[in-house]
Amino acid sequence: MAISSFSQLALRPELLQRLADLNYVLPTAVQAISLQPALAGEDLVVKGKTGSGKTLAFTLALLNKLRCDATHVQALVLCPTRELAEQVSVEIKQVAALIANVRVLTLCGGMPIGAQVSALKQGAHIVVGTPGRVEEHLLNGALMLSEVDTLVLDEADQMLDMGFMETLDSILVYLPPNRQNLMFSATYPEKIMQAAKHFMASPQLLEANEQPSHSNIKQIFYKLDNNKMRLNALRVLLAQHQPQSCIVFCNTKVETKRLFSELQQTGLACVELHGDLDQGEREWSLLSFANKSANILVATDVAARGLDVEAVDLVVSYHLALEPQTHVHRIGRTGRGEHKGLAVSLFGEKEMFKVEQLQSLFQHPLEQGKLPSHTLLDRPAYKPNMVTLMIAGGKQQKLRKGDIVGCLTGEEGISVKQIGKINIYDVQTFVAVKREAVKPALRKLNQSRIKNKRFKAMRA
Ligand code: ADP
Ligand code: MG
């Protein structure tokens, strides 16, 4: 039975209060069907599209039964990529804020292993990680999972696509047999069910009954006479709409890289996301896109899948996706919730059959647009409203968001409305501010003391 309110659940008071604080008023469709059996300890395979709130579903299940007085690892969450693991970790910590002393540890590749081993020695209640690095810690004896109550496989379809099945199998050996298993996935291919059999005896299969209506997403298709027009068609559409937040999807890594550098040369504020970036580069791309100091994210479908970016103003298919389902995922990035979204797609004669496939999927004729005039390109490229500033201090210097906001809004400072996202790392902090506030913000940051210390700040 689906629930209609969080209060129908036997949740601990700290969690109910926290949901209210976070303004999570109603459960999403995925949460409505999965929370009750998840809290009851059942094994589940849950399907829900990207952005449907799967993270909160398992987060509540884990936290509700967590015993903080115990020191062993009680839950293991496996994610396909570092970014997803980081995001899940952040969400768990956020929801756990009112429960005292919850220790969440992220174990991902690309980070120094020594620091993770030391952190493990301090104890952790919940471990979130990527399969490779978790296995490594199991093999060298730093991680003990023999008393785990709950195993979560997040974005399981992607994990299988990335060939993690064998690693998962070898991790399973370290877990006790009497545990709860929760598997979450955006799609439901046959191999998910086969994989599920490795983990659980007779899981319940749950699927959120939400036909994405996409009624608040306007789609326009632009036919190109030849491939050489593609770049300029995109540029002219960007100049027309001037989106503060736009994802341009490419079908391949090679094309993603090329398009990124072409757009960058035209002066547009863009970043790239694909499998060839190193950890630092990916984080930078995501940070500047999320805080809106970069307007355009050029990405492959795989790299962008599952990432929790707020609704974007515009989604562009530079080439039509190979599969209709991928197209649906792409356009679902815009027009979330109440917002109106816009998705534009470029296609050539050879891609006509894909348009027809989509036509039968959406069951209505697709709107074909006429490209705006090229004179739009005579003007200089538009600029982002936000600019990222870097402060040479972070968690190690005990900097908190409140300190930064306090400093910026102090005497002769800037207004709260001019401050955007703040990301605090170990020894660095990034804060986005409105373009017109850059000068006073830098003056404030460089001339004031925070926590009785001076920190250097500059444009990132
Ligand atoms: P998924 O993993 O299904 O792709 P996420 O778990 O990343 O989706 O959730 C997408 C967004 O929805 C997140 O920003 C999350 O904070 C938000 N969200 C989740 N549950 C709720 C809720 N009940 N009410 C409002 N927002 C929610
Ligand atoms: Mg997810």
Domains of the chain: 6-207 (3.40.50.300), 217-378 (3.40.50.300), 386-459 (3.30.70.330)
Residue 441: C-alpha distances to residues 25, 211, 387, 406, 407 (Å): 35, 46, 11, 12, 9
Query: How many angstroms separate the CA atoms of 179 and 74, rounded?
Result: 10
Q: Contact 301/249 with Cβ under 8 angstroms? A: yes
Q: 88-103 burial, b for 16+ CB within 10 Å, e for fewer?
A: bbebbbebbeebeebb
Instruction: Give distance in angstroms: CA of 49 to centre of ligand 2.
Output: 9
Residue tagged 């929801």 (tokens): 95
Burial status of residue 426 (CB atoms within 10 A of its CB: 0-12, 13-18, 19 or more): exposed
Is the CB of 54 within 6 Å of ligand 1?
yes
Burial status of residue 399 (CB atoms within 10 A of its CB: 0-12, 13-18, 19 or more): buried
3-class secondary-structure state, position 253: helix
* pTM recorded for the entire structure: 0.59
From the alpha carbon of 49, which atom of ligand 1 is closest?
3
Predicted pLDDT at 199: 83
Predicted pLDDT at 244: 95
Q: Which long-range contacts (CB under 8 A, 24 or more apart) does 397-406 make?
A: 397/427, 397/451, 397/453, 397/455, 398/451, 399/424, 399/429, 399/450, 399/451, 399/455, 400/424, 403/450, 403/451, 404/429, 404/431, 404/450, 406/450
Instruction: Give distance in angstroms: CA of 50 to centre of ligand 2.
Output: 6
Q: Contact 48/172 with Cβ under 8 angstroms? A: no
Is the CB of 290 within 6 Å of ligand 1?
no
Query: How many angstroms separate the CA atoms of 165 and 171, rounded?
Result: 10
Instruction: Give the DSSP H or E segment for 165.
Output: helix 165-172
Q: Contact 387/438 with Cβ under 8 angstroms? A: yes
For ligand 1, mutation pick of 6, 206, 308 (most atoms within 8 Å of CB): 308
Predicted pLDDT at 27: 84
In the β-sheet with 419-424, what is the strand arrangement from edge to edge?
Answer: 419-424, 429-434, 386-391, 457-459
Question: Which of 291, 267, 241, 308 shows the shortest CA–CA distance to 418?
Answer: 291
From the alpha carbon of 155, which atom of ligand 1 is closest?
2
Instruction: Give distance in angstroms: CA of 336 to centre of ligand 1.
Output: 11
Which pair of structure tokens corresponds to residue 32?
């409505």
Instruction: Give distance in angstroms: CA of 230 to centre of ligand 1.
Output: 35
Q: Contact 151/175 with Cβ under 8 angstroms? A: yes
Q: Integer distance in angstroms from the first to the last C-alpha of the chain?
A: 50
3-class secondary-structure state, position 424: strand
Query: How many angstroms separate the CA atoms of 49 and 43, rounded?
Result: 20
Instruction: Give distance in angstroms: CA of 307 to centre of ligand 1.
Output: 11
Is the CB of 52 within 6 Å of ligand 1?
yes
Amino acid occupying residue 310: E
Q: Which residues of the chain have pLDDT under 50?
A: none
The residue whose CA has the least distance to atom 14 of ligand 1 is: 308
Which pair of structure tokens corresponds to residue 273?
């996301």
Query: How many angstroms separate the CA atoms of 180 and 171, rounded?
Result: 15
3-class secondary-structure state, position 412: coil
Q: 233-267 burial, b for 16+ CB within 10 Å, e for fewer?
A: bbbbbbbebebbbbbbbbbeeebbbebbeebbebe
Query: How many angstroms separate the CA atoms of 151 and 251, rounded?
Result: 33
Which residues, 6+ apart, have CB-to-CB distance to 413 below 8 Å? 407, 440, 441, 444
Q: Which ligand is nearest to the CA of 49?
A: 1
The residue whose CA has the least distance to atom 22 of ligand 1 is: 24
Is the CB of 27 within 6 Å of ligand 1?
yes
- The H helix count followed by the E strand count for the chain is 17, 18
Q: Which ligand is nearest to the CA of 84?
A: 2
Instruction: Give distance in angstroms: CA of 381 to centre of ligand 2.
Output: 34
Beta bridge partners of residue 459, listed in sequence order: 389
Is the CB of 37 within 6 Å of ligand 1?
no
